[in-house]
Structure 1
């Protein structure tokens, strides 16, 4: 086949190390723009990004030119460096190891876009741990409870 045609939609969810609530409203939009740039520079298309002070959700169209694990390594590494180089938090910022990744059909995109856009409202009734477990169960992802989001210290 002369060309490759794909339609792959992925939502990734990942947390700040120790689930600390340290992503501040004052700079989160700039962080989201920076993260969008990283994803786009790797050839993918961001559809929605949002989060809470302790975690991020990103929905993007993924191109088959890179593995998800390589993209996530690049995204987390460079965004951590961006936060640390600007001294946006006291101490050293890092993301928790690991992430959740969930695929969606085109018909699901509207629902997922709204879900990510309305994170603040959603988290008034559901905390991150509960939300993450719901996603894992909804997608029938096998997991070990010991390794699901390290607790807040």
Structure 2
């Protein structure tokens, strides 16, 4: 039996960064659904939250899980569910892009706290500003998933 502990901080946005997730109620429904659906698929979401136009997830990858597959399962199913349940009026889509960064054991609590405080954080800084900072700070490489 293999034992692994690999935490990844995922962030992805709504299509064209539209503020589809406008209310706390809508966001809470979506986050709860994503977490429950992920659990059914054997994906461990440690913490999830976001704001009107994006989602943050702290996930512990399983032994047979890849970043790409986890994102495909979470984003694809949740968009389908949001549209099926008519959670919002417009057709809902997630942006195809996402970013993912590994999180060391010593930083887990800091990342959880950061994800937890998204509303406070984004009252000071937009998602687009944050996104640009992340790309520059971590020197991300872009990969085409399709």
TM-score of the two chains, using structure 1 as the length reference? 0.86
Which aligned pairs between 1:109-124 and structure 2 lie closer than 5 A?
A: 109-124=108-123
Worse-matched range after superposition: 11-20 or 33-42: 33-42
How big is the alpha-carbon RMSD for the aligned residues of Structure 1 and Structure 2? 1.6
For residue 133 of structure 1, report the CA deviation from its aligned partner: 1.9
- Structure 2 runs not aligned, ≥5 long: none
Equivalence for 2:131: 132
Tell me the SS of whatever aligns to 1:10: strand
Q: Which has the larger radius of gyration?
A: 1
Aligned pairs (5 A) from 1:96-115: 96-115=95-114
Map residues 26-105 of structure 1 onto 2, 5 A cutoff: 26-105=25-104
Matches within 5 A, 1:2-13: 3-13=1-11
Moved over 3 A (4+): none
Deviation at 1:27, TM superposition (A): 2.4
CA contact (8 A) 1:83 1:89 kept: yes
Q: Which deviations, in whole Å up to 9, do the C-alpha atoms of 1:111-151 show, x marking residues without a partner?
A: 101100001111121111111122222322135xxxxxxxx
* In 1, Cα distance between equivalents of 2:5 and 2:25: 35
Secondary structure at the aligned position of 2:34 is classed as helix
Q: 1:42, 1:71 within 8 Å by CA — same for their partners in 2? A: no
How far is the alpha carbon of 1:43 from its aligned partner? 2.0
Gaps (5+ residues) in structure 1?
Answer: 144-153
Deviation at 1:59, TM superposition (A): 0.6
Distance 1:26 1:34 in 2: 12
For the residues of structure 2 that align with 1:113 and 1:14, how far apart are their CA atoms? 16
The structure with more strand, counted as a fraction of residues: 2
Number of the residue aligned with 1:147: none
Contact 2:27 2:51 in 1 (8 A): no
